[in-house]
Amino acid sequence: MKLKVAGAALAVLAVAATGCGSDSGSDQGSGKTTITFWDNNGGTRTPIYQELIKRFEAANPSIHVEYVGIPISSVQQKYDTAIAGGDTPDVGGVTTSYLANLTGQQALEPADEWLAKSSVNGKLATSMLDSVRKTVPDGKLYLVPNTSNMDVVWYLKDKLQKAPDTWDEFFGSADELTKKPDEYGYTIRGGAGSIFQILAEMYSYSGISEFFDASGKSTVNDPKNVEFLTKMAGLYKKNTPEADVTNDFPKMVAQFGTGKIAMMHHNLGSYNDHVKAHGKDKIGAFALPTGPGGKRTIVANPVDGFAVFKNSEHKEAAWKFVEFLVSHDSNSYWNEQTGQIPANTDAQGDSWLQGLEHLKTAVETLNDPNTQVVSPPYYLPQFSSITKADTEPLFQKVLLGQMTPQEFLDTLAQKLTDAEAEWKKATGG
Amino acid sequence: MTTMRRRAVPYLLISPTVALIAAFLVYPIGSVAYYSLQHRNLTRPWADGFAGLDNFRRMLFEDELFWHSLGFTAKWVIVEVGLQLILGLALALIVNETFIGRGLARSLVFSPWAVSGVLTTGIWILLYTPSTGVLRFLGQPEAAVLGNPDTVFPAVVVAELWRGVPFFAILLLAGLQGIPGELYEAAAVDGAGRVKRFIHVTLPHLRDAIVLATLLRGVWEFNNVDLLYTLTGGGPAQETMTLPLYVAQRAVDSKDFGYGSALTMAGFVILLFCSILYLRLSRFGGDR
């Protein structure tokens, strides 16, 4: 009897010991390495990663990838908490908009040496690699690009016959397509994410090529930008729904989905939402209209990719996974599913991309030597909080008529100028 | 030896409580107090360090939004608690009467309290969104109540009332049932009408319940984050920004933990002061 009890106790202990083994790390029994991957936009993208992980694990039977989908709205906060608690994933989805924040906390491992020896070396779009390197002070590659995006205006083809080339034509169409009581020419993003969109619109209108002038002063409150914002804010409630003032991405897409709005500014990423709501044939897209003299200016979208975290105990396996994700087949699959621009140049030439009009236009626009690209200061660790928490409510005040466009842009410019000066001082630049 | 042991026993017995309080109250409050005296901002790591009273100076003398959010918080707490008390008392009086279907009425009255906060806001967002909401049926298909500075306050007040009134109704009903029936009979014999019985019998007996419910609710409404955060996020244009929402914006969104801690300390001191004052003034639990 005693023996039996002892045996049972031993068995329990053994189970507990193996069960409590580290959840991330080598599983001694099977010899498998487990790495954790955080998707920075978990949700609709989850099945894409599940498929890619399945393929990766089939090709690398000794590595197991644990997928964690983080909602895009809380991803920065999750990373900050994880860094503070020393519990970061092995690989994480990261975009240049908060890359500086993560490298500022010394959380990431540079990928330059790995990439130099890798089969994907030379296959990743130079513009995206440059964009990543420009984001951090030491110019290293802390993020391996997977995809990029471009701002476009989506429109319903049965309402708008010809895509406008200039902003004047755009404002004209927005007015013409507004029909009382509830049909509108345009919808403004007034809630979360508003500032980036208004920046993209202003610079494409003014054609200004730099965010800061030679003396380090922000160009955001340039008279041409003020002129644009005054026109755009004038559309609110005249050619747009009243609810626009609190429009974040889901609300804006839902409104456009009702079919009562003719045009909506977002980026390539929402293509699938529009197709679901309206069908492929009804949806069209054009790049933001041209500025003075027909010149096209584009504000560079954040580059989205993968980073290996410094705390990872399995950096080699983590890199292997990153390398797999940006290889031709995986990168092509990922971007085909999301409708965005692949970072892998081989994938850019794939037939599915050539068949999608809006994506083909985007790649051509981006690669056109006449297109002028303005890079927002993603390298400023404060950029994200300035363009979100600090100024999004102020933009709502502009729409509601509680603040003038001039006051708003002066405030935004001052914050950016101060942050730039402080950053230069802190980094000895 | 035995006397020493005997002396140690009470301390030993309360030690688990002391340890728990230290771990879950003293430490967190102390850590917030500590950070409120520090510059700690994840986006400006180079400027971190001891701040002295700098955060408090900025809060009191430079930050208009602090005063704006504090003003809105006061308005929010007074309007919410006041209306919840009146409506909750009315509901409690109704379901305290005897009538057919009282059990069902009682469950219906209390049901909103059982719905989780985020679900409540989910329901109200649907009700207020132009394309799905109720205003379509009132001939206002495009009215965005949550986007209009004139209508957003009444809109959020109604949503919170829906959830808050049952709390008062439950507590006050319990109080009502504790009032001996003889008192009413005696008052009736003395010639007191319904109103007089309410004022001289019901209200005095409900005093402790009312004080407790308003105090608890006042603190909760002051700290209300879930409903306002999901319904309006403090917007539009900071119109519905309470102090806790402002803390969340500073500390969580802007990653300025030093300043966020200073704001939290301000909220803590205000609540502490108001609670003590309120309990003193109402002589809670004292003999009448």
Residue pair A35/A311 in contact (Cβ under 8 Å)? The answer is no
Does one domain contain both A75 and A201?
Answer: no
Separation between Cα atoms, residue B241 and residue B63, nearest integer Å: 14
Q: Is B288 exposed, middle or buried (0-12, 13-18, 19+ CB in 10 A)?
A: exposed
Q: Cβ separation of B42 and A384 shorter than 8 Å?
A: no
Report yes or no on A259 lying in a domain.
yes
Show which of residues 113-142 on chain B sit within 8 Å of chain A, judged by CB atoms: 129-131, 141-142
Report yes or no on A16 lying in a domain.
no
Residue A426 to chain B, least CA–CA distance (Å): 7
Respond yes or no on whether ipTM tops 0.95. no
Q: Cβ separation of A400 and B46 shorter than 8 Å?
A: no
Q: Cβ separation of B43 and A396 shorter than 8 Å?
A: no
A244 touches chain B (CB under 8 A): yes
pLDDT at A88: 94
Q: In terms of Cα–Cα distance, which of B219, B220, B243, B222 is closest to B59?
A: B243
A183 touches chain B (CB under 8 A): no
Separation between Cα atoms, residue A291 and residue B278, nearest integer Å: 63
Select from A243, A255, A381 the Cβ nearest to the Cβ of B44: A381
Residue where the block lists tokens 């007996």:
B205
pLDDT at A16: 42
- Which of A73, A101, A245, A425 to substitute to test the interface with B, most B CBs within 10 Å? A245
pLDDT in tens, A296-311: 999 988 899 999 999 9
Separation between Cα atoms, residue B133 and residue B136, nearest integer Å: 6
- Which of B125, B253, B257 to substitute to test the interface with A, most A CBs within 10 Å? B253
- Identify the closest residue of chain B to A420 by CA–CA distance: B44
Does one domain contain both A175 and A238?
Answer: yes
Select from B147, B252, B255 the Cβ nearest to the Cβ of A246: B147
Q: Which chain A residues contact residue B42 at CB under 8 A?
A: 80, 101, 104-105, 381
Does one domain contain both A156 and A233?
Answer: yes
B31 touches chain A (CB under 8 A): no
pLDDT at A121: 93
Ramachandran assignment for A48, one of left (phi > 0), alpha (psi -120 to 50 degrees), beta (any other) = alpha
Report yes or no on A105 lying in a domain.
yes
pLDDT in tens, A249-289: 888 998 899 899 999 999 888 888 899 999 888 999 999 99
- Identify the closest residue of chain B to A241 by CA–CA distance: B142
pLDDT at A429: 57
A19, pLDDT greater than 80: no
Report yes or no on A393 lying in a domain.
yes
Does one domain contain both A240 and A283?
Answer: yes
Contacts of residue B45, defined as CB under 8 A and 6 or more positions apart, other chains included, come to: A104, A105, A381
Q: Which chain B residues contact residue A400 at CB under 8 A?
A: 149, 236-237
**DSSP code of B198?**
I
pLDDT in tens, A318-376: 999 999 999 999 999 999 988 889 999 899 888 888 888 888 888 888 878 888 888 89
Separation between Cα atoms, residue A237 and residue A174, nearest integer Å: 12
Select from B44, B130, B254 the Cβ nearest to the Cβ of A390: B254
A241, pLDDT greater than 50: yes
Q: Domains in chain A: how many in total?
A: 2
Does one domain contain both A121 and A143?
Answer: yes
Sign of the dihedral defined by the CA atoms of residues B42, B45, B51, B56, in that order: negative
Q: Which chain B residues contact residue A194 at CB under 8 A?
A: none
**Pair of tokens at residue B86:** 């009146």
Does one domain contain both A260 and A242?
Answer: yes
Select from B45, B237, B255 the Cβ nearest to the Cβ of A396: B237
Does one domain contain both A288 and A184?
Answer: yes
**Pair of tokens at residue A256:** 């456009």
Report yes or no on A359 lying in a domain.
no
Does one domain contain both A93 and A166?
Answer: no
Q: Is A30 exposed, middle or buried (0-12, 13-18, 19+ CB in 10 A)?
A: exposed
B148 touches chain A (CB under 8 A): yes
Cβ count near A71 (within 10 Å): 12
- Looking at A5-14, A101-110, A114-123, B274-283, which range is the least confident one? A5-14
pLDDT in tens, A85-126: 889 999 999 999 889 889 988 999 999 999 999 999 999 988
Q: Cβ separation of B141 and A181 shorter than 8 Å?
A: yes
Q: What is the 3-state secondary structure (H, E, C) of A58-118?
A: HHCCCEEEEEEECCHHHHHHHHHHHHHHCCCCCEEEEEHHHHHHHHHCCCEECCHHHHHCC
CA atoms within 13 A of residue A18's CA, in its CB half-sphere: 9
E strand map for A137-191? 144-148, 151-156, 184-187
Q: Measuring CA to CA, how many Å separate A42 from each of A48, A70, A73, A368?
A: 10, 5, 10, 33
pLDDT at B110: 87
Q: Is the peptide bond before B236 cis (omega within 30 degrees of 0)?
A: yes
What crossing angle do the helices spanning A223-235 and A194-206 adopt, rounded to 10°? 120
Does one domain contain both A325 and A276?
Answer: no
B178 touches chain A (CB under 8 A): no
The whole-model pTM stands at: 0.82
Pairing of strands A151-156, A283-287: antiparallel
B143 touches chain A (CB under 8 A): yes
Contacts of residue A95, defined as CB under 8 A and 6 or more positions apart, other chains included, come to: A40, A143, A302, A303, A304, A305
What percent of chain B stands above pLDDT 90? Answer: 32
Q: Which chain A residues contact residue B46 at CB under 8 A?
A: 426
**Pair of tokens at residue A19:** 């069960």
Domain of A116, CATH number, reads 3.40.190.10
Show which of residues 89-108 on chain A sit within 8 Å of chain B, judged by CB atoms: 101, 104-105
- Identify the closest residue of chain B to A190 by CA–CA distance: B236
Q: In terms of Cα–Cα distance, which of B90, B239, B247 is closest to B161?
A: B90
Select from B43, B146, B238 the Cβ nearest to the Cβ of A246: B146
Ramachandran assignment for A306, one of left (phi > 0), alpha (psi -120 to 50 degrees), beta (any other) = beta
pLDDT in tens, B19-58: 999 999 999 999 999 999 999 887 787 888 888 888 999 8
- Identify the closest residue of chain A to B128 by CA–CA distance: A243
pLDDT in tens, B223-251: 888 888 888 888 788 889 999 999 988 88
The CATH class for the domain spanning B49-282 reads mainly alpha
Select from A246, A385, A397 the Cβ nearest to the Cβ of B253: A385
Query: Where does the pLDDT of residue A23 fall: very low under 50, low under 70, confident under 90, or very high at 90 and above?
Result: very low
Average pLDDT of chain A to the nearest whole number: 88
Q: Which chain A residues contact residue B132 at CB under 8 A?
A: none
Separation between Cα atoms, residue A123 and residue B60, nearest integer Å: 55
- Domain spans, chain B: 49-282
pLDDT in tens, B150-206: 888 999 999 999 988 998 998 899 998 888 888 888 888 888 888 888 888 888 888
Q: Which chain A residues contact residue B249 at CB under 8 A?
A: 389
Does one domain contain both A138 and A258?
Answer: no
Does one domain contain both A117 and A160?
Answer: no
> At B233, is the secondary structure helix, strand, or coil?
coil
Q: Cβ separation of B43 and A101 shorter than 8 Å?
A: yes
For A76, the domain range is: 24-148+302-348
A77 touches chain B (CB under 8 A): yes
Q: Cβ separation of A242 and B46 shorter than 8 Å?
A: no
pLDDT at A17: 41
> At A340, is the secondary structure helix, strand, or coil?
coil
Report yes or no on A356 lying in a domain.
no
